[in-house]
Amino acid sequence: MGNTGYWSLQSRVSRRSVLRGSAAGAVGLAGAALIGCSSGKSTPAPAGTAVQGTATAVVGGAQARRGGTLRMAGQLSGDVPGLDLDRVGGSAMGSIANITGVKPVQWDERPDSPGPVENVIPDLAESWETPDQGLTWNFKLRKNAKTSDGLEVKASDVVWTLERQTAIKTPTGGLQVNFPGLYTGKKPNATAIDDYTLQIKIPKPDADMLSLMGQHTWAVEHKEVITKKGTDLGKTAPGYGDITGVDQIRGGGPYYPTEYVPASGFKLKRNPNFYDSNVAYLDGIDHPLILDPAAAAAALQAGQLDAFGPLTQFSTQQGLELEKAANLQVNWQPCMVWNPWIFDMTQAPFNDARNRSAVAKAVDRESWVKNLYGGRGRNGAMVLPWLTYWALEASKMGPDGDPSFKYDPAESKKLLMAAGNEKLSFPLQTSNIGAYTVTYPFADLMKSMLANVGVTMDIKIVEYASHLRNTDAAKKGVYQSFIVRPDIQTYAFAQMGGGGALVGASMDSWGAAKKNDKEYQSFLEVMDKQQFTQDRNARRELIYDMQKRVAKNVWNFYWPAPDSPVVSNKKVHNFRPPPGWNWNIMKYVWKES
């Protein structure tokens, strides 16, 4: 789609085109991935097009049944640190917030959709439009969005939620990091024109505007629900309330929590006032927390659980074993996280590209995918791991991919010798939670492969918070990171790994490269251009360009990514865990009695 007429206000999208837009794979933050593979040819609605209609589910061949409680376990490495998403963040409360709340728009996770694609569909907002090519956005909100207590969710609640995020969150909230144009200082550029009209103004057009308003790092909170009991403990932001109990988590979503037992789990019930009476089939959801994937696998096989996810930590090998169980179904999906190893390019040894190339050439990725993953995996110079269908495969990179992907241990040794590092040694810093737990065996495999060319890698496992916030601990080595900001709207990332990979915290340590490396400066220009490019085909080519540059210069190292097994009982329907913590898909899940 070209730019001509892209922001047309009068266009309307048919229900079919909303459902069947061109597909992209999307994957979750801590283990689950969402299938997003389709050859649909219809043209999706562009950002800025006014959209009308509801998100009523279409179940497809099977008839949805109402009732029943889904027993779906989630995994943590410890207890939930707190019930206030704005304060603690994290996948556990992100999941709860998303299923209990609403947003102006939502990613399209309906059963007959190929998954979150470039379309977003209505949620709290019934329609939206932009009169000035993406600078001003006017959302018309529905009048029947209510909490389980019967309180209506209005435009003022959206504004208050955005204010609360920035007032409370330490470090800065997800929307402020991923969508800085939404804020001026710590105040959101959002206004409640009236109860049912929300206006947002941003300084320049952003191709990901709508998808960011539906992303998983936030959900609209109801001011009265949080503050009506006078619960203000004065933590960080007096006046914005403190969520200390599940009775304060009432956001107008399809379910609401009724119970939380520390270190045990949540119980949720259907919101009787949910705006779409045609969905939210289950009576409730029991959501125990299980730390050990092996224990979850045993519970699934014994019929004690209906599903495990969406933050599943099953390995490829566990998935292959669970496929053999007669009562289980395994849904193989693209890898949820493509973990990059971030080289510190300002100091020896990795300020020398020969050392970075030597590390990459020492790894036989093809045999890794074939033998370790049983063919269920892929290579990629991924600068956008959540959306694997925008990855340019190594085989299509030509000479640009040789430094990163061509297995050549002899050449690796030559590079090390030329750089004066025949006995290269470095630490790898990784974390003790989530996706990293799954990757420990792979780090060990990397260690053995590097040893074959004389490189010593010392694996250092640190506490999760230190891993994310104290990147200085990785100086003179390599640290493992994940990438944020999925662009569901147009497949790509508007920032190349904001907060993790090529910009954000890690790039603060790459000052020398920023100032002196002309090729890197050129890369930054392309990166900035793709963020605002509305033509999807043109944006794809820019993304491919960036991936080639990443591979050619070995700015980051990406190991092969395994497919993720998502496991549920065969009586569970429409269980497709969504990317990250966006549990909207649970509206459409049901189970046979």
Q: Are 360 and 550 in contact (CB under 8 A)?
A: no
pLDDT at residue 173 in the model: 63
Over residues 322-332, the mean pLDDT reads 93
pLDDT at residue 41 in the model: 31
Same domain, 368 and 474: yes
**Among 347, 313, 270, residue whose Cα is nearest residue 510:** 347
Over residues 282-310, the mean pLDDT reads 90
**Among 4, 6, 5, residue whose Cα is nearest residue 490:** 6
pLDDT at residue 110 in the model: 82
Same domain, 278 and 356: no
The domain total for the chain is 2
CATH of the domain at 557: 3.10.105.10
Q: Helix, strand or coil for residue 199?
A: strand
Same domain, 226 and 366: no
Higher pLDDT, 183 or 62: 183
Residue 319 lies in a domain: no
Q: How sure is the predictor about 283, in pLDDT bands with cuts at 50, 70 and 90?
A: very high
Distance CA 500, CA 586 (A): 29
**Among 246, 290, 252, residue whose Cα is nearest residue 268:** 246
pLDDT at residue 517 in the model: 73
Residue 335 lies in a domain: no
pLDDT at residue 50 in the model: 41
Same domain, 416 and 475: yes
Residue 3 lies in a domain: no
pLDDT at residue 358 in the model: 95
pLDDT of 165 strictly over 70:
yes
pLDDT of 61 strictly over 70:
no
pLDDT of 526 strictly over 70:
yes
Query: Which pTM was predicted?
Result: 0.76
Residue 324 lies in a domain: no
Q: How sure is the predictor about 495, in pLDDT bands with cuts at 50, 70 and 90?
A: very low
Same domain, 578 and 538: no
pLDDT of 44 strictly over 80:
no
Residue 309 lies in a domain: no
pLDDT at residue 463 in the model: 62
Burial of 321 (0-12, 13-18, 19+ CB in 10 A): middle
Residue 307 lies in a domain: no
CATH of the domain at 200: 3.90.76.10
Q: How sure is the predictor about 103, in pLDDT bands with cuts at 50, 70 and 90?
A: very high
- Dihedral of CA 350/353/355/356: which sign? positive
Tokens standing for 136? 């001003």
pLDDT at residue 272 in the model: 97
pLDDT at residue 493 in the model: 32
Same domain, 387 and 260: no
Q: Is 64 left (phi over 0), alpha (psi -120 to 50) or beta?
A: beta
**Among 399, 217, 318, residue whose Cα is nearest residue 564:** 318
pLDDT of 426 strictly over 60:
yes
**Among 141, 110, 151, 128, residue whose Cα is nearest residue 16:** 110
Residue range of the domain that includes 229: 15-282+566-591
Over residues 235-250, the mean pLDDT reads 82
pLDDT at residue 48 in the model: 37
Q: What is the pLDDT of residues 541-569, one digit of tens each?
A: 888 888 888 888 887 777 787 787 889 99
pLDDT of 450 strictly over 60:
yes
**Among 317, 215, 283, 231, residue whose Cα is nearest residue 67:** 283
Using DSSP bridges, classify how beta strands 284-288 and 307-308 pair: parallel, antiparallel or unpaired: unpaired
CA atoms within 13 A on the CB side of 496: 29
Over residues 24-29, the mean pLDDT reads 24
Higher pLDDT, 145 or 533: 145
SS (H, E, C) 553-575: HCCEEECCEECEEEEEECCEECC
Same domain, 529 and 581: no
Same domain, 215 and 352: no
Burial 205-234 (b: 16+ CB within 10 A, else e): bbbbbbbbbbbbbbbbbbbebbbeeeeeee
pLDDT of 468 strictly over 70:
no
Task: Choose from 330-344, 365-379, 478-492 the range with maximum mean pLDDT.
Answer: 365-379
pLDDT of 71 strictly over 90:
yes
pLDDT at residue 474 in the model: 45
Q: From residue 199, how far is each of 32, 125, 132, 209, 429 by CA, in Å?
A: 34, 11, 13, 13, 43
Q: What is the pLDDT of residues 108-137, one digit of tens each?
A: 878 877 655 457 899 999 999 999 989 999
Q: From residue 50, how far is each of 120, 184, 191, 568 by CA, in Å?
A: 11, 26, 19, 37
Percentage with pLDDT > 90 across the chain:
31
Distance CA 68, CA 212 (A): 33
Phi, psi dihedral angles at 330 (to 5 degrees):
-115, 125
Same domain, 392 and 262: no
Distance CA 531, CA 495 (A): 7
Q: Which of 15-29, 210-224, 339-353, 372-386 has the lowest mean pLDDT?
A: 15-29
pLDDT of 403 strictly over 60:
yes
Over residues 526-546, the mean pLDDT reads 81
pLDDT at residue 340 in the model: 64
Over residues 253-271, the mean pLDDT reads 93
| Amino acid identity, position 131 | P
Distance CA 241, CA 248 (A): 10
Same domain, 573 and 467: no
Same domain, 182 and 43: yes
Same domain, 465 and 449: yes
Distance CA 402, CA 441 (A): 25
pLDDT of 334 strictly over 90:
no
Residue 242 lies in a domain: yes
Percentage with pLDDT > 70 across the chain:
68
Residue 236 lies in a domain: yes
Q: How sure is the predictor about 6, in pLDDT bands with cuts at 50, 70 and 90?
A: very low
Q: Are 527 and 504 in contact (CB under 8 A)?
A: no
